[in-house]
A and B are shown apart, each in its own frame.
Chain A
Amino acid sequence: MTDKRSKNEIIKEHSHQLRGTLAEGLLKVETGAIAEDDQQLIKFHGSYIQDDRDVRGERGKKKLEKAYSFMIRLRIPGGVVTAKQWIGLDTIASTYANGTMRLTTRETFQFHGVIKSNLKRTMQSFHNICLDTLAACGDVNRNVMTAANPYLSKAHQKAYDLGKAISEHLLPRTGAYHEIWLEGEKVEDASRPAKKDEEPIYGVHYLPRKFKVVVAVPPDNDVDIYAHDLGFIAVVEKGEVVGWNVTVGGGMGMTHGDVNTFPRTADLLGFCTPEQAIAVAEQVVTVQRDWGNRENRARARLKYTIEDRGLDNFRDEVEKRLGFKLGAPRPFTFTGTGDKIGWRQTLDAKKASEKMWHLTLFVENGRIKDKPGYALRSALREIAELGICSFVCTANQNVILANVNAKAKAKIEAIFAAHGVSLDVSSGLRRNAMSCVALPTCGLALAEAERFLPDLVTALEESLDRAGLNDDDIVIRMTGCPNGCARPYLAEIGLVGRNPGLYNLYLGAAFNGSRLSKLYAQDVDKQRIVSLLEPLFISYSKEREDGEHFGDFAIRSGVVAPTPAGNQFHADVKLV
């Protein structure tokens, strides 16, 4: 009998609960890389091996191996870090990483450029500020996102509490993380067989593929709930969360040229009470663990399990394992996926004295660094050192300075001003722009993203100016490959890299993140992107209905066909 399972399944099985030969690999000082199988396993520990693709060409000639380094992603449920933790992270960025902190599209930080000899120290430095990277990547439940800013309202706090509880409940129980990174030389004897009971939820094989959970508080869909495997939508009555609508089966990743793969918006599964939520999360995970595709990783996400097995079957199985039925979904409305840039007050505090301020700071592409004339990183560190706020990473790669006393507002504004950091954003498009990291570090990137999107937005701003749309919110997202880290298929303007300098252009997604886009043009370069979009901007400006968003206009005016569900993503494509 041939083993049809994917290679990763074998690697997991033989890894002794994620240990592999990572500890030994760290001791091989002649290389900055680790063994091939360990490169898969280290993801579960929150890290990817990468190499600087900008210099690949010269390395061999110089008798050097690839310029390997590691990306380390943190697990920060809800994206909340204290001022003290911020200072610690900032220090790590310059001590071990490339001097920048990268806010991701999933409410956490990535650090790039950590070389192997510093991996352990870096992990320990995170540990010292009570943070970890466990399960930030890999075939497990990843970082749990919750509606930005737990301090905004009681419901936001509940959403955060649930997200944090789910993150902890679904955390791998293996001792590998502590043994390899924190304690030193105590790695389990690799010759012993893997113990299933070390992982009561995941077992020896963990999940077939990554698994992403979010918690939303309407009307904001900042967490992009339809793009995630499992979602909880707060049902709020009189300011109290009375339960959660549950969504399943969303996901972005696809493969160019393979129509069996597609992005998919999540389905509503049902309703659960606050007490049931953790159990629901666990059983959705166990059904996916048992039903998910372990032969083809390109079709291993929960979205395909539900697509293939049907939502009703899936619900039945979850309910069977839960031992109770889910309720009927309650009505809800989402208005948008973006962040509200600028100052905002606590929504539901009774006394005026309890009304704290929260500043959502736009961070282009989520990259926190100092540039000449724009010392963002220094400004944030200086503010952190004052200890006058918490920090909340958002799903839109921005950061919120939360819980600021009214008196401290001016101080924060002055620090930003002194560092050349404006609190305004040049356009509604830029405000809603998001990109993945792509080149030079990401091994999957087929084209630029983070290094290109700002320039493209600048070019499009001229078109928007001409169309009089400068301040209108239009969502634009770019990724360097089709895997969709910046959730491009849910953007009104989506750009997905195909080749260096060439992108697929997708249009027609809903502004509130509930409808996918449709391919509009293939392999277009910067100039072509601008020349295709400018006439659309102009007609949108002239012909739009009251309050109509650009994505909806693109459907109504027939620019692209609508994509009501993931399995329709590749249908009705008419390229320009």
Chain B
Amino acid sequence: MTATPLLPRNAPFLPEDIELLNKVVARTTPQQRSWLAGFFAGFEAAQGGGLAQAVPAAKPRAPLTILYASESGNSEALATKAKKAAQKHGLDAKVYDMADADMALLAKAKNILVFAATWGEGDPPARAADFYETLMSDAAPRIDGVRFAVLALGDTAYAQFCATGKAIDQRFEELGGVRTFDRVDLDLDFAKKAAEWTEGALAKLAPEDTAAAGGTVVHVDFGGAFPQADDDEPKYSAEQPLEAEISALVNLNGSGSTRETWHAEFAFEDPAFTYKPGDAIGLMPENDPALVDELLQTVGLGSDAALLLKLQKSYDVTTLSRALVENYAKLTGRDDVKALLEGEAYPKFASDRQLLDLFLAYPEKLTPDQLTGLLRPLPGRLYSVASSLKAHPGEAHLLVGAVRWQSHGRDRKGVSSIYLGERRKIGQTARIYVKPNRHFRLPADGHTPIIMIGAGTGVAPYRAFIEERVADGAKGKSWLFFGERNFTNDFLYQLEWQDYLASGDLTRIDVAFSRDQPEKIYVQHRLWERRAELNAWLQDGAHIYVCGDEKGMAKDVDAMLVKILAEPLHGDEDAARVRLKELTKAGRYQRDVY
């Protein structure tokens, strides 16, 4: 079928006019459309306005530099969407990852749109760290007159909410930039608000009056304007997850383990639910009904079954944030709650406490609306997918570490992991979605050796990697470094690794079990023991992957890789760091840390 050139909904006409015009245009032949084009162009020329010949021709457009700092891919996705939206605002946008950008880019820019995520305790995403540091230093260039707008992403569960975005926003102003649109700081439920903000920011950054420019032919980017399926945009999202059946659910740790790690298999029929090894799968959890019930009792809403269900499924009922306490103080007018926001009182109170603790400490009766008004939507939780779709068509496997701890005299349970581990059974369903991660990908060339370093649930993507390579018939060498607490009970997927070693699909394995002997042995110690071979593998072009806990492992592995790379460089760790950065830029050192 030939495409009909229908006017897009965002064409500069009233919606009803667009409809009328499309009715006509839909019946036109190419000849008729050419005639129309010539007619209007000739008419405009005769009136002496606009452009004499060019059809279609654009008036000079403004450049836009979109910069993002992304850890899990959210900022990156927003930046990509903004680039598309920018077209219709008369902006020629280029998107840059801060990981690949330098200061010269800022100096050249005219309009800058920033999407910046904050990671952990107020840090910039790891890949953006260098850029961020330089920006904050004296080496940053002046950007006098450059127009900018910043969108900050964060998580109100952390004290330094959106710190990175806030700092960049302030820094751009200090460097002479002109804030064209006010910054917005968004929580985990950012999707809708981010879209609105982007529209607003683009409209402000856009060249004056493009849409109203009377008598000019508006440049139409047919490629972008026609509605079409977006390859990068998953069909299922946090807002629209897929209901998948749980076909397997097993705690992989042996009896007597100090760990609890659930292997869950989700089965689905929609072929549109696709993912690649390295991607994350989001799980939309439900709150513990017992906890919700206690919460409702505490605020005097104990008998409201409908409300209980609503909170269980849709609201974050555990996270305590400063904003929430502020709102609670306003709502209740309590001075003691207000006092929590003064000085160091808040972080001290919030440390290892949850919403229920606030209500228990400062109890007030609330109406259902007052309660839900305090809460943010329940966010999904992301897990690196542990399977290859090629090996398991119609399935996605997750490896979920159960989170349980005690604080302030209460047993606490991870919202998502315990939902899965305790309250889901085989045969029931759960809501999942895909979160692509193009920064954690197998090498395009199946012959490239891979070195996979992971601790605990960090081993998940490597199971997907090896499954994918087996399915692809990829013959490249592979080497797994796995760390956990105890060999006997915590060797996740042990039998599978044994099979892969036997078949040659996994070339080597090294393991570090920290609690099997008096001294702690971690994966970085094994890396050091194998440094000669590791350097040889890198010489052969190996890609290195690190997956797992940043504080508990990835940081130490990173430092150890510097030491190992320094060995053939006569111990020069600065040179080794440069080498590691080169590997990062070349996509040969990829991290998926949390």
Tell me the bound Cα distance from A59 to B493 in angstroms.
Answer: 11
Known: A30-B498, A30-B501, A30-B509. A62 touches B517 (CB 8 A): no
Tell me the bound Cα distance from A65 to B251 in angstroms.
Answer: 15
B488 near A67 with CB under 8 A, answer yes
Tell me the bound Cα distance from A70 to B491 in angstroms.
Answer: 18
Say yes or no for A63: interface residue by CB 8 A criterion. Answer: yes
Q: Which of B1-9, B50-58, B252-260 contacts A (4 or more CB under 8 A)?
A: B252-260
User: Could you say which residues of chain A place their CB within 8 Å of the CB of B517?
Assistant: 95-96, 117-118, 121
Say yes or no for A310: interface residue by CB 8 A criterion. Answer: no
Say yes or no for B129: interface residue by CB 8 A criterion. Answer: no
The one of B254, B495, B498, B516 that contacts A67, using a Cβ cutoff of 8 Å: B254
B509 near A29 with CB under 8 A, answer yes
B497 near A115 with CB under 8 A, answer no
Say yes or no for B489: interface residue by CB 8 A criterion. Answer: yes
The 0/1 profile, CB within 8 Å of A marked 1, for residues 253-280 of chain B is 1111000000100000000000000000
Interface hits, A555-571 → B, CB 8 Å: none
Tell me the bound Cα distance from A473 to B297 in angstroms.
Answer: 66
- Number of A positions contacting B (CB below 8 A): 24
* Closest A residue to B521 using CB positions: A117
Known: A60-B495, A63-B495, A64-B495. A32 touches B254 (CB 8 A): no
Tell me the bound Cα distance from A115 to B487 in angstroms.
Answer: 8
* Closest A residue to B509 using CB positions: A30
Known: A29-B510, A30-B509, A31-B498. A63 touches B252 (CB 8 A): yes
Say yes or no for A350: interface residue by CB 8 A criterion. Answer: no
B488 near A32 with CB under 8 A, answer yes
User: Could you say which residues of chain A place their CB within 8 Å of the CB of B170?
Assistant: none
Query: A interface, by DSSP: helix, strand, loop or mixed?
Result: loop
The one of A29, A30, A59 that contacts B254, using a Cβ cutoff of 8 Å: A59
* Closest B residue to A67 using CB positions: B488
The 0/1 profile, CB within 8 Å of B marked 1, for residues 34-76 of chain A is 0000000000000000000011001111111101110000000
User: Could you say which residues of chain A place their CB within 8 Å of the CB of B263?
Assistant: 63
The 0/1 profile, CB within 8 Å of A marked 1, for residues 466-504 of chain B is 000000000000000000000111011111111001000
* Closest A residue to B497 using CB positions: A30
B510 near A118 with CB under 8 A, answer no
Tell me the bound Cα distance from A95 to B516 in angstroms.
Answer: 9
Tell me the bound Cα distance from A483 to B494 in angstroms.
Answer: 34
Scoring A60, A68, A115 by chain B CB atoms within 10 A of each residue's CB, the highest score goes to A115
Tell me the bound Cα distance from A29 to B517 in angstroms.
Answer: 15
User: Could you say which residues of chain B place their CB within 8 Å of the CB of A65?
Assistant: 494-495, 498
* Closest B residue to A51 using CB positions: B488
A55 near B516 with CB under 8 A, answer no
Say yes or no for B518: interface residue by CB 8 A criterion. Answer: yes
Say yes or no for B250: interface residue by CB 8 A criterion. Answer: yes
* Closest A residue to B494 using CB positions: A64
Tell me the bound Cα distance from A35 to B488 in angstroms.
Answer: 18
* Closest A residue to B493 using CB positions: A63
User: Could you say which residues of chain B place their CB within 8 Å of the CB of A63?
Assistant: 252, 263, 492-496
Known: A29-B511, A55-B255. A118 touches B516 (CB 8 A): yes
User: Could you say which residues of chain A place their CB within 8 Å of the CB of B495?
Assistant: 60, 63-65
User: Could you say which residues of chain B place their CB within 8 Å of the CB of A32?
Assistant: 487-488
* Closest A residue to B500 using CB positions: A30
Known: A58-B255, A67-B254. A30 touches B494 (CB 8 A): yes
* Closest A residue to B256 using CB positions: A55
Tell me the bound Cα distance from A116 to B516 in angstroms.
Answer: 10
Known: A29-B511, A95-B518, A121-B517. A62 touches B488 (CB 8 A): no
User: Could you say which residues of chain B place their CB within 8 Å of the CB of A60?
Assistant: 495
Tell me the bound Cα distance from A367 to B37 in angstroms.
Answer: 98
Known: A63-B263, A67-B488, A121-B517. A30 touches B511 (CB 8 A): yes
A64 near B491 with CB under 8 A, answer yes
B487 near A117 with CB under 8 A, answer yes
Tell me the bound Cα distance from A32 to B254 in angstroms.
Answer: 14
A62 near B251 with CB under 8 A, answer yes
Tell me the bound Cα distance from A67 to B255 in angstroms.
Answer: 10
Known: A64-B491, A65-B495. A115 touches B511 (CB 8 A): no
* Closest B residue to A62 using CB positions: B252
User: Could you say which residues of chain A place their CB within 8 Å of the CB of B518?
Assistant: 95
Say yes or no for B68: interface residue by CB 8 A criterion. Answer: no
Known: A29-B510, A64-B489, A117-B487. A55 touches B254 (CB 8 A): yes
User: Could you say which residues of chain A place their CB within 8 Å of the CB of B511?
Assistant: 29-30
Tell me the bound Cα distance from A54 to B488 in angstroms.
Answer: 14
Tell me the bound Cα distance from A67 to B501 in angstroms.
Answer: 20
Scoring A30, A58, A63, A95 by chain B CB atoms within 10 A of each residue's CB, the highest score goes to A30
B516 near A115 with CB under 8 A, answer yes
* Closest A residue to B512 using CB positions: A29
Say yes or no for B132: interface residue by CB 8 A criterion. Answer: no
Interface hits, B506-558 → A, CB 8 Å: 509-511, 513, 516-518
In the assembled complex, how far is the CB of residue B479 from the closest CB belonging to chain A, in whole angstroms?
A: 12
The 0/1 profile, CB within 8 Å of B marked 1, for residues 85-101 of chain A is 00000000001100000
B513 near A117 with CB under 8 A, answer yes
Tell me the bound Cα distance from A406 to B458 in angstroms.
Answer: 62
* Closest A residue to B255 using CB positions: A55
Tell me the bound Cα distance from A62 to B494 in angstroms.
Answer: 9
Tell me the bound Cα distance from A115 to B496 in angstroms.
Answer: 20
Scoring A60, A65, A69, A95 by chain B CB atoms within 10 A of each residue's CB, the highest score goes to A65
User: Could you say which residues of chain B place their CB within 8 Å of the CB of A64?
Assistant: 252, 254, 489, 491, 494-495
Tell me the bound Cα distance from A60 to B256 in angstroms.
Answer: 16
User: Could you say which residues of chain A place their CB within 8 Å of the CB of B510?
Assistant: 29
In the assembled complex, how far is the CB of residue B51 from the closest CB belonging to chain A, in whole angstroms?
A: 69
User: Could you say which residues of chain B place their CB within 8 Å of the CB of A69?
Assistant: 488
* Closest A residue to B498 using CB positions: A30
User: Could you say which residues of chain A place their CB within 8 Å of the CB of B251?
Assistant: 62
User: Could you say which residues of chain A place their CB within 8 Å of the CB of B501?
Assistant: 30
In the assembled complex, how far is the CB of residue A69 from the closest CB belonging to chain B, in whole angstroms?
A: 7
In the assembled complex, how far is the CB of residue B392 from the closest CB belonging to chain A, in whole angstroms?
A: 15
Tell me the bound Cα distance from A72 to B380 in angstroms.
Answer: 50
B494 near A117 with CB under 8 A, answer no
In the assembled complex, how far is the CB of residue A474 from the closest CB belonging to chain B, in whole angstroms?
A: 38
In the assembled complex, how far is the CB of residue B56 from the closest CB belonging to chain A, in whole angstroms?
A: 61
User: Could you say which residues of chain B place their CB within 8 Å of the CB of A62?
Assistant: 250-254
User: Could you say which residues of chain B place their CB within 8 Å of the CB of A68?
Assistant: 488
User: Could you say which residues of chain B place their CB within 8 Å of the CB of A96?
Assistant: 517
Tell me the bound Cα distance from A60 to B501 in angstroms.
Answer: 18
Interface hits, B208-266 → A, CB 8 Å: 250-256, 263
Scoring B254, B487, B489, B518 by chain A CB atoms within 10 A of each residue's CB, the highest score goes to B487
* Closest A residue to B518 using CB positions: A95
* Closest B residue to A52 using CB positions: B488
Tell me the bound Cα distance from A61 to B501 in angstroms.
Answer: 20
Tell me the bound Cα distance from A60 to B253 in angstroms.
Answer: 11
In the assembled complex, how far is the CB of residue A67 from the closest CB belonging to chain B, in whole angstroms?
A: 5
Interface hits, A359-398 → B, CB 8 Å: none
Known: A29-B511, A55-B254, A115-B488. 6 other contacts (CB 8 A): A30-B501, A31-B498, A54-B255, A95-B517, A117-B517, A121-B517
- By Cβ-Cβ distance, the 6 closest A-B pairs, closest first, are A63-B495, A29-B511, A62-B252, A64-B494, A30-B509, A67-B488
* Chain B residues close to A by CB (< 8 Å): 250-256, 263, 487-489, 491-498, 501, 509-511, 513, 516-518
A selection of 9 A-B contacts at a CB cut-off of 8 Å is A29-B510, A30-B494, A30-B497, A32-B488, A54-B255, A62-B252, A62-B253, A63-B496, A115-B487
